[in-house]
Structure 1
């Protein structure tokens, strides 16, 4: 009698079905992970301008703008940056509009707001599922 070698068709179909079920569960989770990573990168890029913003405010010679906080052209790999502020009351904002991001967060805005009394606060225009706890979403 010959010994059977290999897999039967039924066994192969079961393996393919299991892989399909796992992929159905994993792909949406991976997309969410990608979106969260892009938002986190945008928060990091916007936060990196806070020190320069504070230097301009403390110098008191000119209102903070994109140019004088050394943000370059304002476009990075992750976002388009914007900076506004007033030396007179110590307020201002740093914004990051997300670029090259997954659909759920594409075009959403991260806003770092400074007030003389409260310091820096962070906000995100997208869903809170895609941001960090330190920068709540809507």
Structure 2
């Protein structure tokens, strides 16, 4: 009978120190994960900004084939601003050089930075450039 009482008392639950250790471990994991998550968010915002201006490349090529100049985003089927771009600029010259640029909206690492598609006149190739930190650039923009 006495051993039954001892057994019930031993199964009371977790001690305060055990709970404090668990809370400390969770805090450390959160402190490590939060900066990595913020970088992931910034990288996805840059990729989304690039995705919003990329469709304009096809219309730029179409206008060049027709011999038309382009000076506004609307002429290449883009809005002046979008969810990820506070301003979009587009320009194409008759010699074939052109660009489509987005001024980005996002967290503090991204807001105000630019991402741009540039077309060279000679070979007609498109290249991506951006003013954001290299760790946030999409693979298309890494040189």
Give the TM-score, by structure 1 length.
0.90
Structure 2 counterpart of 1:108: 113
Q: Which ranges in structure 1 are unaligned for 5 or more consecutive residues?
A: none
Give the TM-score, by structure 2 length.
0.87
Structure 1 counterpart of 2:3: none
Structure 1 counterpart of 2:46: 39
Q: CA deviation at 1:65?
A: 2.5
Following superposition of structure 1 onto structure 2, how do residues 5-44 of structure 1 map, counting pairs within 5 Å? Answer: 5-44=12-51
Structure 2 counterpart of 1:131: 137
Moved more, 63-72 or 24-33: 63-72
Equivalent of 2:64 in 57, 66, 70? 57
Q: Which ranges in structure 2 are unaligned for 5 or more consecutive residues?
A: 1-5
Residues 82-125 of structure 1: CA distance to partner in whole angstroms, max 9, x if unpaired? 101112x10111001111x1111111100111013241011010
CA RMSD of aligned residues (A): 1.5
Higher helix share goes to which structure? 2
